[in-house]
C-alpha cells in the first residue's frame, strides 16, 4: 500500500512537470511567434525607410528638375525683356526723349533684379541639395577688412551713413577658409545693415573670440576662432522675429505696409553658408537701437569641401563674392527726412584706393597698368612695377582699366579676372578687339586657372594667385619683352615654297624676324633649340601631320608659344577639337585668309596697328569694323518663344544680318533644306515637337552641315548644361538671358573663321 501511494505521488509529480513543460513550450512558442512578428516588423520598417529614402532622393531630383525648368520658364521672358529694354535704353536710333530712355532703363534694371532673384533661389537650392563645395585658401584678415571698406564705403556715404572697419587687438592675422563663401555672408549682412539703417552708421569688426563664449552649436573652440561683427544703428529686430529672419523669404518687416524691399533670402543663404564653413552666427538686437550680427568662423576649416562631397565647384576669390549684386539696399524712407551724416572714425582711403602715377606720366615714360580690385595686392604690384623703372597706373574695376588703357596706352597690363561688374575676360576681349589697344601685352594674374582660354584671346601669360616675389618679377620681365618695341621671333612651317614666301611677306617687316622650315622634323628641331614668340604652321607636312608634331612637343614638355594653324585642309570636328588643345587660332586658307592671318599675327605679336604698312593696316581695320563680319550673313534663329524671336531678329537685322526664323527643331531642319546659304544657327535647346538636342543630332548627321556654326542658347542654369550642349554637337554655348554684346561677339568669332 505504501508502495502504491509512492507510485501515485510520483505519477502526480510527473503529471505536474509535464503540464509545466507544456506551459513552458507554449510560452516559448508564443515568444518565437513574437520574435517572428518583430522580425517581420523590423524588415517592413527597413523597407519603409528604404522606400522613404528613395522618395526623398526622388523628391530631391524632382526639385532640381523643377528649379532648372523654373529657371528656364522665368529666364525665357526675361531674355526678350532685357534685350529690348537695353536696345531702347541705348537709343541707338536717337528717336526717344530722356523720359523714355529713363523708363527703358528702369525696365532693364528691374529685369536684372529679377534675374538676381532667380540666381539667389538657385544658390539656396544648391546648398540645400549639398552641391556646394568649399575651396580653402589663406585669407588675410586685414585684407578682408580693406575689401569690405572698398566695396561698401561709397554705398554708406551715399546714404549719409558712416562706415567703420576695425581690426581689434589680438585678432588673428589670417584664417584658412573659403574666401568666396565667407565674402558672400559678409556681403549679405552688410546689405541688410545698410538697408535697415537710416541714421548713424555701420561698424564691421574683426576680433579674437573671448574665452568662455558659448559656441555649443558649432563646437568651435574660442581660441581657434575669429569673430566678425556687423553692427548697425538701424531699426533693430523684435525678439519674436529674431529666429524667422533666417528662414527663406522671411523678414522682420512684414505685412501690407512694408517699408523695406528685398526677398528675405540673403540671411537664409548666410545661415547655410556659415554652417558649411564650420561656424555659427549669433544675433543681438533691440528695436529702435540697432542690431549686431556676429559670425564665429574657425581659423582653419578641417575639410577641403563640403561634407556632402559635391564636385566641380569653380574656385572664386573673396572680392567676387563682394561684387555680386546686392538686393536693394536703399531704405524706402518716409516723410523725406534727411539722415544725419556721421563721419567714420577711421580715415578712408582715397577714391582710387591705391595712389598711382597717372598725374605724373610724361611723354617717353614707360608705364604698366594694374587692373586689380584687391587693394593690398594692387599696392604690392605698384611697388614691384616702380622698382623696374616703370610708371604705374592702377584701376580697381574693369571699366576704369579700359579707360586708362585707351587714354594712356601703357606698355603692359597686369589683369585680374574676378573684377566687380565688368570682369577680366570682358576687359581682355575688349582690349584685343580695339585696334588702338590690341597691341598692348596683357598678363593675367588671378585665382582662375583657365590659362588656355586667356592665351587664346591674346594674353601673353597666365599666373595663378598667390604669387611669390620671383614670379611677379618674371611676369614684369615678360611684359617688358613682349612690348611692341621688342624684336619678335616667328617660325613658319610650310612645305610649299610659294605659300611659304607669301606667308613670310605677310608677316615680316620692321622688328619681326622670321625663320622658315619645310618639314615637321625641322620644326621640332627649331622649337627645341630656340624660343619663338609665334609659330605659323601648315598641317599637311611631307613627313608628319602637324597635330603629330604638336603632340610630340607636348610630350617633351617644350613650352609652346602661340600657334596659328594656317591650312587648306577641311578640318573635321574631331580634328578641330584636338588642335584646339595646342593652337591658339586656326586659320583656313580661304579668300579672306590673308586679312585674318595679318590680324592674328599682329594680335599675338602685340604690334601697333598704326605702325604697320598701309596695306596691312587697312586689312586689319577693315576686318574690325564693328559689323563687318556680320553684314550680309544669313542666321537661322530657332526659338519657340515669339517674344525672344522678335527681339533677337530685330537685334540681328540692326547689325546687317539676314535673320531666318524657325519655332522648333523640325522647322529648323526644313529651313536648312530650303536655304543652303545659312551661315550660322542660334538654337534654343528647350522647344516643343523637336528640341535643340534632337535637332543638333540630326543636323550633325548630315556631312554638309559638319562645319556649320551652331550656338546653343539655353535658360537652364546648371553648370553641366554647357558640356551637354557641346556633346550634342553645338559649336558654342550661351545661357539666357542673352547679353547683346556677348552674342554679337560670339557670332563675330564664328563668322570670322
Residues 468, 474, 477, 483, CA torsion sign? negative
| Res 76: pLDDT | 60
- pLDDT higher than threshold 70 for residue 469: yes
Name the pLDDT band for 753 (thresholds 50, 70, 90). Answer: low
Cα angle 275, 276, 277 (rounded to 5 degrees) comes to: 90
| Res 546: pLDDT | 81
- pLDDT higher than threshold 80 for residue 132: no
Of 91-105, 328-342, 478-492, the poorest mean pLDDT is in: 328-342
Distance (Å, rounded) from C-alpha 57 to C-alpha 54? 5
Alpha carbon 413 to its chain centroid, in Å, reads 22
| Res 375: pLDDT | 83
Q: What is the pLDDT of residues 471-505, one digit of tens each?
A: 888 888 888 877 655 677 888 998 888 888 888 88
Distance (Å, rounded) from C-alpha 416 to C-alpha 424? 6
Helix residue spans in 277-374 (DSSP H): 318-323
Of 47-61, 245-259, 452-466, 588-602, the poorest mean pLDDT is in: 245-259
Q: Which of 374-378, 572-576, 681-685 has the highest mean pLDDT?
A: 681-685
| Res 247: pLDDT | 56
Of 229-243, 516-530, 733-747, the poorest mean pLDDT is in: 733-747
Show the cell assigned to 706. 559638319
| Res 349: pLDDT | 32
Name the pLDDT band for 428 (thresholds 50, 70, 90). Answer: confident
- Tell me if 624 sits within 8 A of 430, measured CB to CB: no
Domain 137-253+260-306+313-323 sits in CATH at: 3.30.565.10
| Res 635: pLDDT | 95
| Res 443: pLDDT | 92
More confidently predicted of 166 and 600: 166
| Res 259: pLDDT | 41
Of 45-49, 293-297, 304-308, the poorest mean pLDDT is in: 304-308
Residues 721-731: what's their mean pLDDT?
A: 79
| Res 311: pLDDT | 31
Residues 138-153: what's their mean pLDDT?
A: 85
Distance between first and last Cα of the chain: 127
More confidently predicted of 464 and 632: 632
Residues in Cβ contact with 379 at an 8 Å cutoff, skipping those fewer than 6 apart: 354
Return the CATH superfamily for domain 488-605: Response regulator (3.40.50.2300)
Class of domain 634-751: alpha beta
- pLDDT higher than threshold 80 for residue 91: yes
Beta-bridged to residue 167, according to DSSP, are: 206
| Res 151: pLDDT | 80
Distance (Å, rounded) from C-alpha 156 to C-alpha 154? 5
Report the helix count and the strand count for the chain, using DSSP H and E: 22, 22
Measured N-to-C along each axis, helices 740-751 and 2-90 cross at an angle, to the nearest 10 degrees, of 80
Hey, what's the torsion of the CAs at 610, 613, 617, 620, to 10 degrees?
Answer: -120
Residues in Cβ contact with 151 at an 8 Å cutoff, skipping those fewer than 6 apart: 187, 190, 319, 322, 323, 420
Q: Is the pTM of this model over 0.95?
A: no
| Res 486: pLDDT | 60
- pLDDT higher than threshold 80 for residue 87: no
- pLDDT higher than threshold 50 for residue 588: no
Instruction: Of 681, 729, 733, give the one whose Cα is nearest residue 706.
Output: 729
* Helical (H) or strand (E) element with 78: helix 2-90
Measured N-to-C along each axis, helices 520-529 and 546-555 cross at an angle, to the nearest 10 degrees, of 30
| Res 325: pLDDT | 40
Residues 448-453: what's their mean pLDDT?
A: 60
Q: What is the pLDDT of residues 185-215, one digit of tens each?
A: 898 899 888 888 989 999 999 999 988 888 8
Grid cell 520658364 is found at 73
Average pLDDT taken over every residue of the chain: 77
Residues 509-538: what's their mean pLDDT?
A: 85
Residues 593-599: what's their mean pLDDT?
A: 68
Give backbone dihedrals phi and psi of 33, rounded to 5 degrees, phi first.
-60, -40
- Rg of the chain on CA atoms, in Å: 34
Instruction: Of 532, 558, 534, 531, give the one whose Cα is nearest residue 549.
Output: 558
| Res 559: pLDDT | 74
More confidently predicted of 369 and 275: 369
Length of the chain, in residues = 753
Distances (CA, A) of 323 to 63, 188, 422, 481: 29, 11, 10, 34
| Res 577: pLDDT | 65
Residues 225-245: what's their mean pLDDT?
A: 83
Domain 367-482 sits in CATH at: 3.40.50.2300
Residues 372-387: what's their mean pLDDT?
A: 85
Name the pLDDT band for 698 (thresholds 50, 70, 90). Answer: very high
488-605 and 634-751, same CATH topology = yes
Hey, what's the torsion of the CAs at 365, 366, 372, 373, to 10 degrees?
Answer: -10
| Res 695: pLDDT | 93
Residues 136-155: what's their mean pLDDT?
A: 84
| Res 243: pLDDT | 67
- Tell me if 323 sits within 8 A of 419, measured CB to CB: yes
Grid cell 556646394 is found at 132
- Tell me if 726 sits within 8 A of 746, measured CB to CB: no
- Tell me if 612 sits within 8 A of 509, measured CB to CB: yes
More confidently predicted of 129 and 354: 354
Residues 68-72: what's their mean pLDDT?
A: 59
Beta-bridged to residue 540, according to DSSP, are: 545
The percent of residues above 70 in pLDDT, for the chain, comes to 74
Report strand pairing: 710-714 vs 680-684.
parallel
Q: What is the pLDDT of residues 404-424, one digit of tens each?
A: 998 888 989 999 988 877 778
Residues in Cβ contact with 425 at an 8 Å cutoff, skipping those fewer than 6 apart: 417, 453, 457
* Domain residue ranges of the chain, discontinuous segments joined by +: 2-128, 137-253+260-306+313-323, 367-482, 488-605, 634-751
Amino acid at each position: 500500500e505504501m508502495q502504491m501511494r509512492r507510485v501515485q505521488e510520483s505519477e502526480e509529480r510527473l503529471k505536474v512537470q509535464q503540464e509545466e513543460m507544456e506551459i513552458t513550450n507554449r510560452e516559448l512558442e508564443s515568444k518565437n511567434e513574437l520574435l517572428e512578428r518583430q522580425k517581420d516588423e523590423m524588415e517592413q520598417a527597413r523597407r519603409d525607410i528604404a522606400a522613404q529614402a528613395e522618395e526623398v532622393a526622388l523628391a530631391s531630383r524632382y526639385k532640381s528638375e523643377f528649379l532648372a525648368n523654373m529657371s528656364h520658364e522665368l529666364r525665357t521672358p526675361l531674355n526678350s525683356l532685357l534685350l529690348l529694354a537695353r536696345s531702347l535704353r541705348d537709343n541707338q536710333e536717337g528717336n526717344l526723349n530722356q523720359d523714355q530712355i529713363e523708363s527703358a532703363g528702369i525696365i532693364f534694371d528691374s529685369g536684372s533684379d529679377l534675374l538676381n532673384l532667380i540666381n539667389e533661389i538657385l544658390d539656396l537650392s544648391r546648398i540645400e541639395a549639398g552641391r556646394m563645395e568649399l575651396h580653402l585658401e589663406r585669407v588675410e584678415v586685414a585684407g578682408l577688412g580693406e575689401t569690405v571698406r572698398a566695396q561698401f564705403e561709397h554705398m554708406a556715404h551715399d546714404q549719409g551713413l558712416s562706415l567703420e572697419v576695425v581690426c581689434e587687438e589680438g585678432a588673428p592675422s589670417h584664417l584658412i577658409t573659403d574666401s568666396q563663401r565667407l565674402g558672400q555672408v559678409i556681403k549679405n549682412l552688410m546689405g541688410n545693415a545698410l538697408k535697415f539703417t537710416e541714421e548713424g552708421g555701420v561698424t564691421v569688426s574683426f576680433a579674437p573670440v573671448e574665452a568662455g563664449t558659448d559656441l555649443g552649436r558649432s563646437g568651435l573652440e574660442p581660441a581657434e576662432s575669429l569673430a566678425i561683427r556687423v553692427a548697425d544703428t538701424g531699426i533693430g529686430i523684435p525678439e519674436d522675429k529674431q529666429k524667422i529672419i533666417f528662414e527663406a523669404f522671411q523678414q522682420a518687416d512684414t505685412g501690407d505696409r512694408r517699408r523695406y524691399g528685398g526677398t528675405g533670402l540673403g540671411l537664409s543663404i548666410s545661415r547655410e553658408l556659415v554652417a558649411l564653413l564650420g561656424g555659427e552666427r549669433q544675433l543681438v538686437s533691440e528695436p529702435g537701437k540697432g542690431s549686431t550680427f556676429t559670425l564665429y568662423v574657425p581659423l582653419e576649416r578641417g575639410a577641403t569641401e563640403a561634407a556632402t562631397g559635391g564636385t566641380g565647384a569653380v574656385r572664386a576669390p573673396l572680392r567676387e563674392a563682394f561684387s555680386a549684386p546686392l538686393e536693394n539696399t536703399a531704405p524706402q524712407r518716409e516723410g523725406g527726412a534727411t539722415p544725419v551724416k556721421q563721419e567714420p572714425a577711421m580715415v578712408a582711403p582715397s577714391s582710387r584706393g591705391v595712389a598711382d602715377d597717372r598725374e605724373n606720366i610724361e611723354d617717353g615714360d614707360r608705364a604698366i597698368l594694374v587692373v586689380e580690385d584687391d587693394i593690398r595686392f594692387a599696392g604690392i604690384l605698384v611697388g614691384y612695377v616702380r622698382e623696374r623703372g616703370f610708371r604705374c597706373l592702377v584701376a580697381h574695376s574693369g571699366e576704369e582699366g579700359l579707360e586708362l588703357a585707351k587714354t594712356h596706352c601703357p606698355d603692359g597690363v597686369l589683369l585680374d579676372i574676378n573684377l566687380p561688374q565688368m570682369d577680366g575676360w570682358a576687359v581682355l576681349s575688349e582690349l584685343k578687339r580695339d585696334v588702338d589697344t590690341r597691341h598692348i601685352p596683357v598678363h593675367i594674374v588671378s585665382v582662375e586657372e583657365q590659362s588656355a582660354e586667356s592665351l587664346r584671346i591674346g594674353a601673353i601669360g597666365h599666373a595663378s594667385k598667390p604669387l611669390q616675389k620671383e614670379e611677379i618679377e618674371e611676369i614684369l620681365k615678360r611684359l617688358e619683352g613682349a612690348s611692341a618695341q621688342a624684336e619678335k621671333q616667328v617660325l613658319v612651317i610650310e612645305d610649299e615654297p610659294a605659300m611659304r614666301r607669301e606667308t613670310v611677306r605677310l608677316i615680316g617687316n620692321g622688328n619681326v624676324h622670321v625663320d622658315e622650315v619645310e618639314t615637321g622634323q625641322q620644326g621640332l628641331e627649331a622649337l627645341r633649340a630656340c624660343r619663338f614668340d609665334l609659330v605659323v604652321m601648315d598641317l599637311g607636312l611631307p613627313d608628319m601631320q602637324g597635330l603629330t608634331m604638336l603632340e610630340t612637343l607636348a610630350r617633351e614638355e617644350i613650352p609652346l608659344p602661340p600657334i596659328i594653324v594656317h591650312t587648306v585642309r577641311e578640318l573635321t570636328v574631331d580634328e578641330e577639337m584636338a588642335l584646339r588643345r595646342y593652337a591658339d587660332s586656326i586659320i583656313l586658307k580661304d579668300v579672306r585668309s590673308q586679312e585674318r592671318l595679318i590680324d592674328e599675327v599682329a594680335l599675338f605679336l602685340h604690334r601697333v596697328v598704326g605702325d604697320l604698312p598701309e596695306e596691312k593696316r587697312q586689312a586689319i581695320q577693315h576686318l574690325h569694323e564693328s559689323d563687318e563680319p556680320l553684314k550680309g550673313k544669313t542666321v537661322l534663329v530657332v526659338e519657340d518663344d515669339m517674344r525672344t524671336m522678335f527681339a533677337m531678329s530685330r537685334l540681328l537685322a540692326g547689325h546687317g544680318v539676314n535673320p531666318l526664323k524657325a519655332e522648333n527643331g523640325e522647322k529648323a531642319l526644313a529651313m536648312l533644306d530650303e536655304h543652303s546659304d545659312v551661315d550660322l544657327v542660334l538654337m534654343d535647346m528647350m522647344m516643343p515637337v523637336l528640341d535643340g538636342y534632337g535637332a543638333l543630332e540630326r543636323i550633325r548627321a548630315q556631312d554638309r552641315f559638319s562645319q556649320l556654326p551652331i550656338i546653343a542658347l539655353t535658360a537652364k542654369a546648371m553648370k553641366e548644361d554647357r558640356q551637354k550642349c557641346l556633346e550634342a554637337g553645338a559649336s558654342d554655348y550661351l545661357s539666357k538671358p542673352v547679353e547683346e554684346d556677348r552674342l554679337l561677339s560670339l557670332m563675330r568669332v564664328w563668322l570670322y573663321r
